[in-house]
Amino acid sequence: MTPHTQPTNNVVLLVEDNPDDEALTRRAFRRSKLANDIHVTRDGVEALEYLHGRPEGASTGWTHPLPRLVLLDLKLPRVDGLEVLTAIRSTERTRLLPVVILTSSDEDRDLVESYELGANSYIRKPVGFEEFTRVIEELGLYWLVINLDPPRSDGPSEAPVG
C-alpha cells in the first residue's frame, strides 16, 4: 500500500476472550450484511502479535496487514485492553488505527483512561441479545461504511518505532 491511501483490507480485529460475545459479534456483522472478515485474538498478547508481528526470522515486512478497525475488550488475560491500546498508539504503524473499546466495564475510570490513551470510541456491551446486535450493527455501519479511515502506510519496509 502506498502512503496516504485508504486501506483495501477489510479485516476487523476483534480482541475478545469471551466466546459468547465473539459469536454475538459475528452474528451481528452477518445480520447487518457487512462483508468484513473478523479475525479474533483471545488476549492482549495475541492482539499485539497480530498487529506488530513479523514473519519468523524476517527483519522487514509484517505478518498481517493492518485491520480496518480494532474492537477491543478491556478485561483480557495476559495483557489488558488499556495496555494494548497504549501499545497501539505508541507505534508509528498503528497509531492512527481506529480502535473502539467494546467492554462490559461500567467503571468511569476505564472510560476516561480509554479516551486519554487515544480510543476513538467507547461502547459498553449491552446485556440483551437484541440490543447487543443493534449496537454492533450500528458500530459496523459507522466505522466500516460511513467513516473515512485516516491515510496511512502499511508497506513492508515500515519498521516499528521504539
Residue 29 lies in a domain: yes
DSSP symbol at 142: I
Look at the alpha carbons of 51, 57, 58, 59 in this order and tell me if their dihedral is positive or negative: positive
Structural domain contains residue 124: yes
- Provide the number of structural domains found in the chain: 1
Q: What is the torsional sign of CA 81, 83, 87, 89? A: positive
Residues in the chain, total: 162
What is the pLDDT at residue 53? 83
Give me the domain span that covers residue 92: 11-146
**Helix boundaries (H) for the chain:** 19-31, 44-52, 81-89, 108-116, 129-141
- Residue bearing cell 496511512: 152
C-alpha cell at 6: 485508504
CATH code at 28? 3.40.50.2300
- Averaged over 139-148, what is the pLDDT? 91
Q: What is the pTM of this model?
A: 0.85
DSSP-assigned letter for residue 99:
E
- What are 26-65's pLDDT values in tens digits? 988 888 887 679 999 999 999 999 998 865 556 666 778 8
| Mean pLDDT confidence for 57-84 | 87
In a domain, 24, yes or no: yes
What is the distance of C-alpha 52 from the center of its chain?
13
How far separated are the first and last CA of the chain, in Å rounded?
23
Range with lowest mean pLDDT among 2-6, 64-68, 145-149? 2-6
Q: Residue 16: helix, strand or coil by DSSP?
A: coil
95-137 pLDDT, tens digit per residue, is: 999 999 999 998 999 999 999 999 999 999 988 889 998 999 9
